[in-house]
């Protein structure tokens, strides 16, 4: 057994973080459970997807079963100010932001990590599906999870070496089925709890209704144009559409139409046919290279352009410190500005950046 460490586990009331805590307790570490209170929307409390009273009591119950202390940490104000505001601003600017990137960077592996270290912990563990590889005098490497289907390295790609150095992902070496089995064996109350989906602060309905409540300025109607520039309809606000979307455009046309572009300057939604959709090129900015430095030369890689997208073969060319050009072998249908392009070679996550318009 390795020397006993003091480790804070970020618990959510879900099965993954519960098993992460259970594994660390089994390994003989001194484990402290903490739970972030991220969001509570007045009038929507019952529909919150995260940090509900139910999730909080499940996490607390799990901590009691594991005989570890448990503390909630309220971060609602900074969460709103950074993560939710970023989400709203992104939509207001016509892009589709990924708030989880910021949450992991500034809240979970930011504020919570700082509190954990201040408490005297050496590590902050989470229930993310990803792996870390540590070797002496080398940067920490971030690897895809054993369970391909559950891999979450995509949303961890924005973490710094400093953040990764103190991180632990105990369930990254397991399959989801294995995690549920451990939870069952340990008698954890959330063993069969459904996986959380979607963004934690979106309550009832979807992100469109969230924007209506919190950023009504995004409901700015404008023209729908075809690729030639002809106006063929009206849209309800660019925020309500995503690249590649087919349904809900309200246009009758002989061929199926897809959203191919958001022209923010003219507040126009550009729709086209399937063949207008694919692109081979993208530029990403604000790239975080996990090793700390960009690779020197252009290299072949696999790239993921959405959390749930398949890996796609591409040639990656770093430009300067934090920009990258990506050229896909095959056209990609839904390259979406604001989302992350995350770069892999084999299992290794090299880093990621934000797809530019």
Q: Please say which residue, 110 or 294, places its beta carbon nearer to another protein.
A: 110
Q: Tokens for 308?
A: 């749930």
Q: Which of the residues 147 through 206 are near another protein (CB under 8 A)?
A: none
Q: Which of the residues 75 through 134 are near another protein (CB under 8 A)?
A: 76-78, 81-82, 106-107, 110-111, 114-115, 118-120
Which x/- pattern over 47-76 shows residues binding another protein (rule: CB under 8 A)?
A: ------x--x---x--------x-xxxx-x
To another protein, the closest distance from the beta carbon of 108 in angstroms equals 12
Stretch that binds another protein, among 29-37, 211-219, 253-261, 330-338 (CB under 8 A): 29-37
Q: Does 214 bind another protein (CB under 8 A)?
A: no
Q: Does 37 bind another protein (CB under 8 A)?
A: yes
To another protein, the closest distance from the beta carbon of 58 in angstroms equals 13
Q: Please say which residue, 102 or 326, places its beta carbon nearer to another protein.
A: 102
Under rule CB under 8 A, how many of the chain's residues touch another protein? 27
- Rg (Cα) of the chain, in Å, rounded? 21
Q: Look at residues 207, 267, 277, 216 and name the one whose alpha carbon lies nearest to residue 238.
A: 267
Which residues belong to the active site?
103, 200
Q: Please say which residue, 79 or 240, places its beta carbon nearer to another protein.
A: 79
Q: Does 5 bind another protein (CB under 8 A)?
A: no
To another protein, the closest distance from the beta carbon of 71 in angstroms equals 4
Q: Which residues bind another protein (CB under 8 A)?
A: 6, 32, 34-35, 37, 53, 56, 60, 69, 71-74, 76-78, 81-82, 106-107, 110-111, 114-115, 118-120
């Amino acid at each position: 057994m390795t020397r006993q460490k003091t480790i804070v586990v970020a618990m959510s009331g879900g099965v993954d973080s519960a098993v992460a805590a259970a594994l660390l307790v089994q390994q003989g570490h001194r484990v402290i459970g903490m739970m972030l209170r991220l969001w509570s929307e007045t009038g929507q409390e019952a529909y919150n997807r995260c940090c509900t009273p139910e999730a909080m009591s499940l996490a607390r119950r799990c901590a009691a079963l594991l005989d570890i202390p448990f503390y909630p940490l309220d971060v609602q104000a900074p969460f709103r100010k950074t993560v939710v505001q970023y989400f709203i601003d992104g939509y207001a600017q016509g892009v589709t932001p990924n708030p989880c990137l910021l949450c992991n960077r500034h809240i979970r592996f930011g504020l919570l990590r700082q509190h954990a270290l201040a408490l005297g912990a050496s590590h902050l563990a989470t229930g993310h599906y990803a792996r870390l590889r540590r070797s002496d005098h080398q940067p920490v490497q971030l690897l895809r999870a054993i369970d391909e289907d559950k891999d979450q390295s995509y949303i961890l790609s924005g973490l710094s070496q400093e953040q990764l150095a103190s991180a632990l992902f105990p369930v990254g070496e397991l399959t989801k089925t294995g995690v549920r089995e451990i939870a069952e064996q340990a008698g954890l109350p959330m063993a069969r709890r459904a996986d959380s989906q979607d963004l934690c602060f979106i309550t009832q309905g979807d992100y469109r209704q969230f924007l209506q409540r919190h950023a009504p300025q995004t409901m700015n109607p404008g023209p729908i144009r075809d690729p030639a520039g002809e106006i063929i309809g009206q849209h309800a606000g660019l925020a309500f559409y995503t690249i590649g979307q087919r349904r809900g455009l309200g246009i009758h046309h002989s061929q199926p139409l897809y959203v191919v572009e958001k022209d923010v300057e003219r507040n126009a939604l550009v729709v086209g046919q399937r063949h207008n959709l694919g692109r081979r090129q993208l530029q990403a900015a604000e790239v975080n290279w996990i090793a700390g430095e960009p690779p020197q030369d252009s290299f072949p890689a696999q790239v993921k352009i959405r959390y749930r997208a398949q890996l796609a073969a591409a040639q990656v060319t770093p430009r300067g410190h934090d920009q990258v050009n990506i050229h896909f072998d095959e056209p990609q249908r839904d390259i979406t500005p604001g989302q992350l392009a995350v770069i892999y070679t084999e299992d290794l996550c090299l880093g990621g950046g934000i797809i530019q318009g």
